[in-house]
Structure 1
Amino acid sequence: MKPHNRLFLVLILLCMGACASYQGHIGDRRPLDLVAFDTLEPQVYTPPHWPQALEARVRIPRTQGPHPAVLLVHGGGWQRGSPGSMEGIARRLARQGLVTVNVDYRFAPAHRFPAQLHDLQLAMHWLHEQADELDINPNRIAAFGFSSGGHLVSLLTVVAGQGGELDQQWGGPRTRPAAVVLGGSPSDLRLWEDGRLVVDFLGGTRAEMPETYAQASPLVHVHDNGLPPFFLFHATRDRIVSPEHSEQFHARLQEKGVPSELHYQCCRGHFSGFIFRRVAMMELEAFLLRELAGP
C-alpha cells in the first residue's frame, strides 16, 4: 500500500472510532483493574425434556464473589449464528470482574417464536438456580444482546413478571435482568417489509398475523412497572435494522420513565457497527459496572 493511501486509511479508521453521539446519561469512564478468569466446560442449561439441549459458555473471574453477571445473546436473524460471535465481548467483560454466560438458543424456522424467548427465560431461571455454584449475585444479572439477540433480550426484559401470555409459562419476575445492553436491535417487527427472516421467525406475513407481529415487538410491551436501565447502541447507516428501531424504543422507555442511554455509531452499518465497536464498548462497560455495582 502506498504511503498516502495508508495515511488515508488510518484517518478513516480514526474518524470511525471518534464519530459517536449520545442521548441520555453518559457513564463515567474510569481505568479498569483487569482480572484473570476461569472458563468452564460448556454447561447444559436446559432440562432433559427440552426439545433441544442448549449450552452456556461460562467464565468466572478469579476474584472474591459473589459477582455480578451478564447473559450474552448472539445475533443471526433468529436462524443462524453462534455464541462464538460474542466470545470477545465475554472475555473482555470477564476480565472486568463479571461472570459472563454466553448462550445458545433454538433457531427458526424449525423452532418459531416464542421458542427463543422461552430458551432465554429458562437460561435466567438456570442462572438463579446455579448462582452459588457459579459464584453469581442473583440480584445483579444483566443481559446483552446484539441484533436478533438484542430483540430477544429486550423482549425477555419487558414481558418479565407482567403475567401476560409470553410470561406465564416460563417467565416470572426473576427472568428480568438488572440492566440491559442492546446493539443494533429490532424493537418493532411491524416496521419491516415481509422479509424471509421475519416470516420464518413468526410463521407468516404481517397481513396474515398482525397480532403476532405486535406480540413479538418489544416496543409494544414497554411499561413503567420497574423496568431496569437500558443502554442502546446503533449504527447510523444500518440498512438491515434501521436506527429507527432504537430511536423509537429509547423514546418509549423515556416516556415511561425508564432510564435509557442511546449511543449512535456514525458512518457504520449493521455488521461494521458490531466489528468496530470500541467506543460503544467503553460506554456500555461503564454502564454495566455502574448499574451492577452494590450489594
Structure 2
Amino acid sequence: MIRHALLATALLLTGCASHEGRPSNARIGSVGPVAVTVTRDFVYTPAHWPQPLKADLYKPAGNGPFPAVVMIHGGGWEGRSRDDMNDISQRVAERGYVVLNMSYRFAPQWHFPAQLQDVQQAIIWLREHASDLNVLKNRIGAWGYSAGAHLAALAGVTSPDDKWFVEGTRVQAVVAGGTPVDLRYYKNGPLTNGLIGASYERNPDLWREASPLALVSGDDPPMFLYHGTFDITVGDNNAHAMYQALNANGIPAELYLMRGLEHLSTFIVDRPVDNGIDFLDLYLRTAQPKLTGRSDEAGSIRR
C-alpha cells in the first residue's frame, strides 16, 4: 500500500524534471524490446574469494555482439538484495544489453574496499566470459542506485593512479541514481562509518579513497546522474557537485533531476530509467566509447 501511494505521487510529478547535458544526438529506444533469458544464482567470484557471491545474468535474444552492464543494488552498504534491481535489469536487457545483477559483501562485517573489489570482480567476470556471452569487452557500463550508485560511480572514477585500481576493471559508462558522491559529507553517519570501519579523524585518506567526487579525473567515463530534489536521505547537492566536477574535467555528463521526489520515489519511477538507458545507448551502442585505460584484459584484485 505504501509503495502504491509513493508510486501514485511520483507519477503525478514525473513531468516535473530538468535534464542538463543531454546531447543533441541522443537516441530514444534504438533497440527492442527483445526477449530476455535469465540465469539466476550463479557464483561470479573465484574460489579464493573471502565470501562466495552470487549474481543473476540477463541475456537478450539474438547473436550480438552485446554491450553489457553491471547492476548494483542499494541498501546503505549493509542490506537489501539484488532483487531490488530485477525490474531495471530486465528493462535494460530488453534494450539489448547483457546485464549482470550482482550481490556484494555487506558492511559492517566487511569494510571498504571490499565492496568496490566485488564490483571490480563482477566486471572482470564479464570480460573473462565475453566470448561465451558475445559481449563487447570495451562496451561495459555500471548502473546503481543509492549505495549501489556510490559503488558504480566509484568503479567508474577509480583510475590507474588510484590506490584501489585493478587492471581490466574500467567501465565505459556509468548510470548512478540517488548517489552519495562524497562520504566526507557524512562523517558522523552510522552507515558511512560502518562502511569505512574507521572514523574520519582516524583515517581521512581512506574516506577520500571511498569518495567518487574526490577521484574525478580527465580519463573517467561518461556519467548519467539522476536524483530527486526532495531527497533528504542523500541530498541532491551530491548530484550537483558530481556533475560540476565531471564538467570541470571535460567528462560527458547528464544531470536528471526529478522535482518533488525523495529517495524511494525517485527509485521507483520509470522516466529516469528510460533516460538512463538512452544514455547507455549513446555511449555503449551508437558511439565509439571513450576508452579509459586498458579495459580488455582481466586483472587481479588486491585484498
TM-score (norm 1): 0.90
1:60 and 1:135 in contact (8 A); partners too: no
1:18 and 1:279 in contact (8 A); partners too: no
Tell me the distance in 1 between the aligned counterparts of 2:169 and 2:15. 36
Question: Is structure 2 residue 22 aligned with structure 1 residue 25?
Answer: yes
1:79 and 1:108 in contact (8 A); partners too: yes
Q: How does 1:1-20 map to 2 (within 5 A)?
A: 14-20=11-17
Tell me the distance in 1 between the aligned counterparts of 2:128 and 2:31. 30
Question: Is structure 2 residue 174 aligned with structure 1 residue 176?
Answer: no
The residue aligned with 1:217 is: 211
1:213 maps to amino acid: W
Closer/same/farther in 2, CA of residues 165 and 10 from structure 1, 3 Å limit: closer
| Aligned pair partner of 2:258 in 243, 253, 265 | 265
Question: Is structure 2 residue 87 aligned with structure 1 residue 88?
Answer: yes
2:70 maps to amino acid: L
**Superposed displacement of residue 209, structure 1:** 2.4
Tell me the distance in 1 between the aligned counterparts of 2:264 and 2:11. 18
The residue aligned with 2:277 is: 285
Q: Secondary structure at the match of 2:127?
A: helix
User: RMSD value over aligned CA atoms?
Assistant: 1.8
Tell me the distance in 1 between the aligned counterparts of 2:252 and 2:182. 20
Encode CA deviations 1:194-251: one digit per residue, 9 max, x unaligned.
Answer: 11101111112222322221121111111112x2111000010111111111110110
2:172 maps to amino acid: A
2:70 and 2:100 in contact (8 A); partners too: yes
The residue aligned with 2:162 is: 164
1:247 maps to amino acid: H
Question: Is structure 2 residue 120 aligned with structure 1 residue 121?
Answer: yes
Q: Which stretch shows the higher mean deviation, 213-222 or 199-208?
A: 199-208
**Superposed displacement of residue 11, structure 1:** 9.0
**Superposed displacement of residue 28, structure 1:** 3.5
Tell me the distance in 1 between the aligned counterparts of 2:8 and 2:128. 50
Closer/same/farther in 2, CA of residues 199 and 63 from structure 1, 3 Å limit: same
| Aligned pair partner of 2:248 in 251, 255, 262 | 255
Closer/same/farther in 2, CA of residues 11 and 221 from structure 1, 3 Å limit: closer
Tell me the distance in 2 between the aligned counterparts of 1:84 and 1:124. 19
Tell me the distance in 1 between the aligned counterparts of 2:69 and 2:184. 29
Question: Is structure 2 residue 236 aligned with structure 1 residue 240?
Answer: no
Q: Secondary structure at the match of 2:164?
A: helix
1:38 and 1:62 in contact (8 A); partners too: yes
**Superposed displacement of residue 15, structure 1:** 3.4
Equivalent residue pairs, number: 280
Question: Is structure 2 residue 185 aligned with structure 1 residue 186?
Answer: no
- The percent of aligned pairs where both chains have the same amino acid is 38
Higher relative contact order (CA 8 A, sep 6+): 2
The residue aligned with 2:132 is: 133
Encode CA deviations 1:90-127: one digit per residue, 9 max, x unaligned.
Answer: 11111111111100100011100000011111111111
The residue aligned with 2:152 is: 153
TM-score (norm 2): 0.88
Q: Show structure 1 runs of 5+ residues with no match.
A: 1-8
Q: Show structure 2 runs of 5+ residues with no match.
A: 1-5, 289-303
Q: Secondary structure at the match of 1:231?
A: strand
1:40 maps to amino acid: T
Q: Secondary structure at the match of 2:95?
A: coil
The residue aligned with 1:144 is: 143
Closer/same/farther in 2, CA of residues 143 and 11 from structure 1, 3 Å limit: closer
Closer/same/farther in 2, CA of residues 258 and 62 from structure 1, 3 Å limit: same
Q: Secondary structure at the match of 1:263?
A: strand
2:105 and 2:118 in contact (8 A); partners too: yes
2:105 maps to amino acid: R
The residue aligned with 1:3 is: none
**Superposed displacement of residue 22, structure 1:** 1.4
2:224 and 2:279 in contact (8 A); partners too: yes
Q: Which stretch shows the higher mean deviation, 182-191 or 200-209?
A: 200-209
Closer/same/farther in 2, CA of residues 211 and 107 from structure 1, 3 Å limit: same
